[in-house]
């Protein structure tokens, strides 16, 4: 981009080299480096390293233009040290002045922000004025916008400060007042057209790329609109402020209502920041009791920014000390009521939720599950009879060898008269509410299925004699002259039990 191809460049001056690249998909994430090879009129060459300035720009400096004539600039793009692209341009070097300016590309500009742009033509570091050696036809600042539009500002060495911002006529400083009129990305270029020592010139100097932003906005919200105070007292006005701007902004707040005082309030905000603040307003001692209105004026420190709203009218009630004490007490009482309501709500949710969980999670788990198969002891040929324990939907199932006893199932043909009782044991103790929440976090196998027999019964299991034991899936045992097999694949399995097995009344 700089110097422009076939442009005239000054001898014995430093040339700023600027290269802009456009990446395709192959090099989107590649580490690209660049260098420039400058060959002079006498055939000598110099390699100029270029430094990356952002993702798509490279900058360098060439300061060996000491011989007039044509200079060839070859730019090479490298990826991992290998050349992937090159481009050649030519410029001509003559004894020409150099453009200098105080206009610099900063982080961002604002629409309508007026400034004075100045530029000069230098030769050998000295500022030139129009005369026998120098004639200036045009000296302009040209702004090229992204949409293809451009804006040109002519600079004058007129001495007209009011119109052009120029302090002295013929002092070699060309000036004019300028304000950006379009929003968006742009590039600024200085351009001079004229003649120096009989040689015509057209000089361009790229000043870089910039962004023009719309003026910032400061948005203010007042969560409360009404307040109260005693005479001579202070009340706090909360507000929420948002900086809708690309730059930092400051908000000044003043009060214009007589009888009220507000210390100078200045609130600063970073770009895009939202913050809360409070204004401390003091009510005068001579204010009458009753309702009143106060007016706040909100203004930006930057005159180009806007504040919405620009003013706020708030209601304030001046009351007696006794009324103030009652309001404070009422506020505390109201806070206590709110806290009590919240606590009551939480307790209600806890109790109702616990009871619901107890019914949904715990009660179904505590029902006896599975099937019990039995046959006469030693009768391995007969088909076992199945007792469907789960269909009873009970926490305790009674199987009796005595048909006269009250039971869920009666087994005939036994010489004994006692009962087998199968029931569940839930590991989480406490009220149903607590059990409900415990059941939510517990496991299904927190429920044990237990077997015991009434006096004088016994249970024979794996060669040992018990009066009671925990039932596991596929457990086999003998009692009352019958052989039993318990099956519940969704319950606890034998391999899961540990040293803490509860066999109720113990071994006999």
pLDDT score of 497:
46
Residue 428 pLDDT exceeds 90: no
Question: Is residue 103 assigned to a domain?
Answer: yes
Is the same domain home to 209 and 223?
A: no
Question: Is residue 433 assigned to a domain?
Answer: yes
| C-alpha separations of 428 from 366, 431, 435, 442, 445 in Å | 11, 9, 6, 9, 12
Token digits for 207? 């000043």
Domain stops at, among 94, 128, 155:
94
- At residue 442 the predicted structure's pLDDT band, cuts being 50, 70 and 90, is low
Summarize the confidence of residues 480-508 as an average pLDDT: 63
Residues spanned by the domain of 201: 98-213
Chain centroid, CA 180 distance in Å: 33
Closest alpha carbon to 97 in 206, 207, 205, 208:
205
Chain centroid, CA 159 distance in Å: 53
Kindly report the CATH number assigned to the domain that includes residue 389. Answer: 2.60.200.20
Domain stops at, among 173, 195, 213:
213
Spell out a b/e string for 1-35, using b for 16 or more CB atoms within 10 Å of the CB, else e: ebbeeeebbbebbebebbbebeeeeeeeeeebbbb
Is the same domain home to 200 and 223?
A: no
Is the same domain home to 278 and 375?
A: no
Residue 502 pLDDT exceeds 50: no
Helix ranges (DSSP H) in 5-148: none
Domain stops at, among 147, 179, 213:
213
Token digits for 501? 């097995």
Question: Is residue 439 assigned to a domain?
Answer: yes
Helical pair 321-357 and 432-441, crossing angle rounded to 10 deg: 70
Is the same domain home to 124 and 186?
A: yes
Helix, strand, coil distribution of the chain in percent, nearest 5: 15, 50, 35
Question: Is residue 134 assigned to a domain?
Answer: yes
- At residue 507 the predicted structure's pLDDT band, cuts being 50, 70 and 90, is very low
Complete DSSP assignment for 194-243: EEETTEEEEEEEEEEEEEEEPPPEEEEE-S--EEEEETT-EEEEEEEEEE
Question: Is residue 449 assigned to a domain?
Answer: yes
Helix (H) or strand (E) holding 420: strand 419-426
Kindly report the CATH number assigned to the domain that includes residue 261. Answer: 2.60.40.10
Is the same domain home to 39 and 150?
A: no
Is the same domain home to 315 and 166?
A: no
pLDDT in tens, 47-86: 998 888 877 788 899 988 889 999 999 999 888 888 888 8
Is the same domain home to 327 and 314?
A: no
Helix (H) or strand (E) holding 435: helix 432-441
Q: 63: Cβ–Cβ under 8 A, 6 or more apart, which residues? A: 13, 14, 15
Between CA 150 and CA 40, with CA 101 as vertex, the angle to 5 degrees is 90
Q: 3-17, 372-386, 484-498: which range is least confident on average?
A: 484-498
Is the same domain home to 197 and 299?
A: no
Is the same domain home to 72 and 173?
A: no
Phi, psi (rounded to 5 degrees) for 213: -110, 155
pTM higher than the cut 0.75? no
Question: Is residue 2 assigned to a domain?
Answer: no
Question: Is residue 3 assigned to a domain?
Answer: no
DSSP code at position 180: -
Number of domains composing the chain: 4
Summarize the confidence of residues 503-508 as an average pLDDT: 44
Rounded CA-CA distance 291/35 in Å is: 76
Query: Is the Cβ–Cβ distance between 146 and 186 less than 8 Å?
Result: yes
Is the same domain home to 490 and 422?
A: yes
Place of tokens 């481009």: 87
Is the same domain home to 177 and 231?
A: no
Query: Is the Cβ–Cβ distance between 36 and 48 less than 8 Å?
Result: yes
Summarize the confidence of residues 410-433 as an average pLDDT: 82
Question: Is residue 311 assigned to a domain?
Answer: yes
Is the same domain home to 193 and 238?
A: no
Can you say whether the dihedral through the CA atoms of 217, 221, 225, 227 is positive or negative? negative
CB neighbour class for 403 (10 Å; exposed up to 12, middle 13-18, buried from 19): exposed
């Amino acid at each position: 981009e700089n110097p422009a191809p076939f442009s005239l460049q000054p001898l014995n001056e430093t040339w700023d080299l600027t290269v802009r690249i456009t990446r395709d998909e192959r090099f989107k994430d590649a580490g690209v480096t660049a260098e420039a090879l400058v060959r002079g009129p006498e055939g000598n060459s110099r390699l100029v390293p270029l430094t990356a300035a952002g993702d798509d720009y490279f900058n360098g400096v060439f300061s060996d233009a000491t011989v007039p004539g044509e200079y060839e600039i070859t730019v090479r793009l490298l990826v991992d040290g290998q050349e992937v692209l090159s481009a050649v341009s030519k410029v001509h070097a003559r004894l020409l002045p150099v453009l200098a300016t105080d206009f610099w590309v900063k982080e961002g500009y604002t629409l309508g922000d007026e400034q004075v742009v100045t530029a000069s033509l230098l030769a050998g570091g000295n500022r030139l004025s129009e005369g026998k050696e120098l004639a200036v036809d045009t000296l302009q600042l040209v702004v090229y916008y992204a949409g293809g539009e451009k804006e040109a500002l002519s600079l004058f060495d007129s001495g007209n400060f009011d119109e052009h911002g120029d302090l002295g006529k013929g002092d070699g400083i060309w000036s004019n007042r300028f304000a950006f009129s379009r929003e968006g990305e742009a590039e600024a270029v200085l351009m001079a057209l004229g003649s120096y020592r009989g040689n015509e010139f057209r000089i361009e100097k790229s000043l870089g790329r910039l962004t023009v932003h719309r003026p910032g906005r400061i948005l203010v919200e007042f969560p409360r609109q009404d307040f109260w105070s005693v005479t001579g007292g202070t009340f706090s006005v909360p507000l929420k402020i948002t900086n809708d701007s690309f730059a930092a902004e400051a908000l000044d707040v003043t009060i214009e209502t007589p009888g009220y005082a507000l210390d100078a309030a200045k609130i600063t905000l970073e770009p895009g920041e939202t913050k809360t603040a409070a204004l401390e307003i003091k009510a005068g001692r001579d204010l009458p009791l009753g309702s009143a209105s106060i007016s706040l004026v909100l203004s930006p420190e930057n005159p180009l920014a806007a504040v919405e709203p620009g003013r706020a009218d708030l209601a304030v009630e001046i009351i007696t000390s006794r009324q103030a004490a009652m309001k404070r007490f009422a506020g505390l009482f109201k806070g206590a009521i709110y806290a009590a309501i919240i606590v009551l709500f939480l307790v209600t949710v806890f109790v109702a939720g616990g009871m619901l969980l107890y019914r949904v999670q715990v009660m179904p788990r505590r029902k006896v599950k599975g099937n019990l198969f039995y046959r006469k002891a030693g009768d391995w040929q007969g088909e076992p009879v199945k007792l469907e324990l789960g269909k009873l939907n009970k926490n305790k199932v009674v199987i009796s060898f005595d048909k006269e006893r009250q039971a869920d199932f009666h087994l005939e043909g036994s010489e004994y008269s006692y009962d087998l009782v199968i029931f569940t044991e839930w590991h989480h103790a406490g009220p149903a509410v607590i059990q409900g929440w415990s059941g939510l976090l517990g496991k299904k196998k927190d429920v044990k299925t237990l077997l015991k027999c009434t006096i004088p019964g016994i249970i024979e299991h794996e060669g040992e004699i018990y009066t009671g034991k925990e039932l596991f899936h596929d457990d086999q045992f003998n009692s009352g002259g019958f052989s039993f097999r318990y099956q519940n694949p969704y319950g606890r399995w034998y391999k899961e039990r540990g040293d803490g097995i509860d066999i109720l009344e113990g071994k006999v």
